[in-house]
Amino acid sequence: MKSPDNDSARRQPFRFGRRLFLAATGCAPVASLLAADPPRPVTQASVPDDPAAPKEQVGTVPPSSPFDEPLIFARKDLTPRVKPFSLTQVRLLPGPFLSAQEANQALLRRQDADRLLHTFRINAGLPSSAKPLGGWEKPDSELRGHFAGHYLSGCALMYAATGDPQLKSKADYLVTELGKCQDRLGNGYLSAFPLLLFDRLRARQRVWAPFYTYHKILAGMLDAHQLCGNQAALQIARGMADWVDHWTAALTPEQMQTVLDEEFGGMNEVLYNLSAITSLPRYASVGDRFTKKRFFNPLALRRDQLRGIHTNTHIPQVMGAARRYELTSDMRFHDVADAFWRQVVDTRTYVSGGTSNNEGWLTEPNHLAQELSLRRETNECCCAYNMMKLARALFTWSGDSRIFDYYERNLYNHRLGTIDLTNGHTQYFLTLGAGSWRTFSAEEDSFWCCSGTGVEEFSKLADSIYFHDGNGVWVNLFIPSELEWEERHVRIRQTTGFPAEARTTLEIITESPQQFALKLRIPSWVSGPASISINGKASEVSADAGSYLVVHRSWRRGDRVELSLPMGLHVEAMPDDPSLQAFLYGPVVLASRLDTVKLPDSLVVGFQAPDLKKQPPPDIPPLRAEHADVRRWDRASRNALDFEVPGDRRLTFVPFNSIGPGERYSIYWKVV
């Protein structure tokens, strides 16, 4: 999330975004200012003139522009290959994911709803004596109210995932009280800031992303409706969308395109969702107004023109494209989502599964080593969250197991370690530079974008473990959990110590025999043939890495399937510097702790990224090639994923996600 430079004393020093800068220095439309930029060949790497202020690239004019034609929304639903189970059907069992969920659940319970409502009530002219929140929620922050939307989604998701009645009550209370604010404001508008911010947006004056915040509240209302059954939330959402219709209808299409140069979250997606829920196409037509042609046109033509653009401004737009494809089967939107996915995952993703640097893409594709050398603020957590949502959508179209290779990489190496289990606080950037350390939000003085996606993320860890189709259950992740497949009167209980143990066990619980297929994902990283046994007897069924192993039979109560997934150490080098290498065991990225002493909270809490200047530069000599030869490494203990590197330098590698707050680490190593 791009923040203005006057926002927070603890803000990191780099922030002054390209578009905000332009708006502040004369309000000229971005496109016209950049139109003189020469087109840049996409395959040739070059360093931006000023990495701190990457140029937003217009690029070459496509020979045809699929999104320049007026869009007409016509519902024609896509038939997905696989469908997700609802969150209410899956429960996590003890393990690291349940621990993360519980830390977030406690955080959601601690939040005071009246404090979240304070700025909404003030804006609506209603009394409030609550103590204002700080950080991005403080009363003069232009993003105020965004966290309430995330919080509503987080409570609704957590209620679905756990049945926690306390969080349902808090969500219902928020909906009721926000409804009073909406009634008072009139015209359906609901926000914690006045319409003045939208006036400035229309005039292209300096403003901090009002539609971004509006989207969070609208999405929170839909989640409260769909997951908590709150009918009033749907009516509030419709009122909010009616106001958006009114506001956007007053603009010419050209004016609207300039408005879309300011970050607007997933306004297109949430309006498509509202259209699907209400069966009213007009909301989708309003969603179509949020089609940023300058971004979608090259994607539809499968051109990578991502260099220089702000990452998390654009991922939610692609999720909107994916949703519109699902509702209309319009291939233009499919191509946008598919091309974007491939560009980011194949050429712009670090070993951790995350993407972005300084919140943008600073280089041409496949220049990650160069990008890492430019800035240390890699891997914004919001980007990982949104890319995983996109992955989930794409998977339902194809059932391609490789999408879950990506998802799993992100889940274990980016997401799992970014929550502090002692308090539920989460990270902003997951920095990959050598000598970095994890920094976390403060309880009352952060409320960053990533704090918002964090309370959603860690409420829905159960949502992609299992999928289903007409024939059976797809098992994508190896996480201790229990699936209640009510439609088939079957429960499946998965128990595993994965990834510390390279296997998982599935137990079928059913009153009477049930015929269905069990489709087990065989990850691309397996180091040998995967195998299964059923009720202790080895099965001859096999499958290649990067596919599904399918067992179709009549299942009886107590049937047990054991899946073995051989794991090994392997190396992943940077595409533009083969000597810069990271080490993995199966899907798990390994890191080396650089110190035995943790840094104090004064360097950890409330910082979006580590301030490396406050510590001596790390002393990390290059790794000699024989030490980087993972065939020579020893496993430090039987039950943990710790490895020792033999030789004169005593190095130990551990799972990156086990590195705690304030511990300095190294991920990528120079190998000579």
Give the range of 1-9, 99-107, 225-233, 435-443 binding Zn ion by CB under 5 A. Answer: 1-9
Please pick, from the candidates 58, 90, 318, 449, the single residue that binds Zn ion as defined by CB under 5 A: 449
Smallest gap from residue 100 Cβ to Zn ion (A)? 18
The two tokens of residue 672 are: 């000579």
The two tokens of residue 598 are: 């943790």
Our CB check for Zn ion shows the closer of 385 and 668 to be 385
What DSSP designation does 617 have?
Answer: P
Smallest gap from residue 436 Cβ to Zn ion (A)? 17
Give the range of 189-197, 263-271, 273-281, 374-382 binding Zn ion by CB under 5 A. Answer: 374-382
Place of tokens 């990067």: 546
Give the range of 212-220, 373-381, 471-479, 663-671 binding Zn ion by CB under 5 A. Answer: 373-381
Smallest gap from residue 450 Cβ to Zn ion (A)? 4
Our CB check for Zn ion shows the closer of 391 and 450 to be 450
Indicate the SS3 state at residue 196: helix
Our CB check for Zn ion shows the closer of 291 and 608 to be 608
Closest residue to bound Zn ion by CB: 382
The whole-angstrom separation of Cα 134 and Cα 606 is 11
609 binds Zn ion (CB under 5 A): no
Please pick, from the candidates 22, 362, 450, 475, the single residue that binds Zn ion as defined by CB under 5 A: 450
Smallest gap from residue 158 Cβ to Zn ion (A)? 20
Name, in order, each residue with C-beta under 8 angstroms of 86's C-beta and a sequence gap of 6 or more: 160
Smallest gap from residue 382 Cβ to Zn ion (A)? 3
384 binds Zn ion (CB under 5 A): no
Smallest gap from residue 260 Cβ to Zn ion (A)? 20
Our CB check for Zn ion shows the closer of 161 and 450 to be 450
Residue type, 609: A
The whole-angstrom separation of Cα 80 and Cα 629 is 44
Question: DSSP for 119-178?
Answer: HHHHHHT----SPPP-GGGSTT-TTTTHHHHHHHHHHHHHHHHH--HHHHHHHHHHHHHH
Our CB check for Zn ion shows the closer of 182 and 608 to be 608
387 binds Zn ion (CB under 5 A): no
The whole-angstrom separation of Cα 329 and Cα 96 is 39
Residue type, 378: T
Give the range of 68-76, 130-138, 280-288, 449-457 binding Zn ion by CB under 5 A. Answer: 449-457
Torsion, Cα of 65, 66, 72, 75 (10° steps): -160
The whole-angstrom separation of Cα 630 and Cα 603 is 34
What DSSP designation does 445 have?
Answer: S
The whole-angstrom separation of Cα 189 and Cα 183 is 9
Give phi and psi for 172, each to the nearest 5.
Answer: -65, -40
1 binds Zn ion (CB under 5 A): yes
CB atoms closer than 10 angstroms to residue 353: 26
Place of tokens 């194809």: 398
Name, in order, each residue with C-beta under 8 angstroms of 312's C-beta and a sequence gap of 6 or more: 1, 263, 356, 359, 380, 382, 383, 386, 449
Our CB check for Zn ion shows the closer of 334 and 376 to be 376
Smallest gap from residue 385 Cβ to Zn ion (A)? 8
Peptide bond into 480 cis (omega under 30): no
Smallest gap from residue 442 Cβ to Zn ion (A)? 15
Q: Which of residues 98-157 bind Zn ion (CB under 5 A)?
A: none
Whether the Cβ atoms of residue 1 and residue 208 lie closer than 8 Å to each other: no
The whole-angstrom separation of Cα 486 and Cα 477 is 20
Smallest gap from residue 84 Cβ to Zn ion (A)? 24
Our CB check for Zn ion shows the closer of 234 and 267 to be 267
Smallest gap from residue 383 Cβ to Zn ion (A)? 7
Give the range of 7-15, 147-155, 443-451, 530-538 binding Zn ion by CB under 5 A. Answer: 443-451
The whole-angstrom separation of Cα 603 and Cα 605 is 6
First to last CA, the chain: 38
Smallest gap from residue 208 Cβ to Zn ion (A)? 14
Smallest gap from residue 56 Cβ to Zn ion (A)? 19
Our CB check for Zn ion shows the closer of 144 and 170 to be 144
Name, in order, each residue with C-beta under 8 angstroms of 638's C-beta and a sequence gap of 6 or more: none
Give the range of 115-123, 135-143, 393-401, 446-454 binding Zn ion by CB under 5 A. Answer: 446-454
Give the range of 249-257, 346-354, 382-390, 501-509 binding Zn ion by CB under 5 A. Answer: 382-390
Our CB check for Zn ion shows the closer of 230 and 311 to be 311
382 binds Zn ion (CB under 5 A): yes
Indicate the SS3 state at residue 507: strand
590 binds Zn ion (CB under 5 A): no
The two tokens of residue 16 are: 């002054």
315 binds Zn ion (CB under 5 A): no
Our CB check for Zn ion shows the closer of 380 and 559 to be 380
209 binds Zn ion (CB under 5 A): no
Smallest gap from residue 358 Cβ to Zn ion (A)? 12
Our CB check for Zn ion shows the closer of 175 and 450 to be 450
Smallest gap from residue 19 Cβ to Zn ion (A)? 17
Mask for 31-70, x = binds Zn ion (CB under 5 A): ----------------------------------------
Our CB check for Zn ion shows the closer of 327 and 384 to be 384
Q: How many residues bind Zn ion (CB under 5 A)?
A: 5
The two tokens of residue 249 are: 């209808």
Our CB check for Zn ion shows the closer of 354 and 587 to be 354
The whole-angstrom separation of Cα 605 and Cα 10 is 10
The two tokens of residue 472 are: 């059976």
Our CB check for Zn ion shows the closer of 107 and 492 to be 107
The whole-angstrom separation of Cα 191 and Cα 213 is 8
Residue 348 Cα to chain centre, angstroms: 15
Smallest gap from residue 12 Cβ to Zn ion (A)? 12
Smallest gap from residue 339 Cβ to Zn ion (A)? 24
Q: Count of alpha carbons within 13 Å of 664, Cβ hemisphere only?
A: 21
Our CB check for Zn ion shows the closer of 382 and 567 to be 382
Triad 245, 251, 252: Cα angle to 5°: 125
Give the range of 442-450, 589-597, 602-610, 634-642 binding Zn ion by CB under 5 A. Answer: 442-450
Our CB check for Zn ion shows the closer of 427 and 657 to be 427
Place of tokens 């209400």: 278
Q: Which stretch of DSSP H or E encloses residue 555?
A: strand 547-555
Q: Please give the residue ranges that form the binding site for Zn ion (CB under 5 A).
A: 1, 380, 382, 449-450
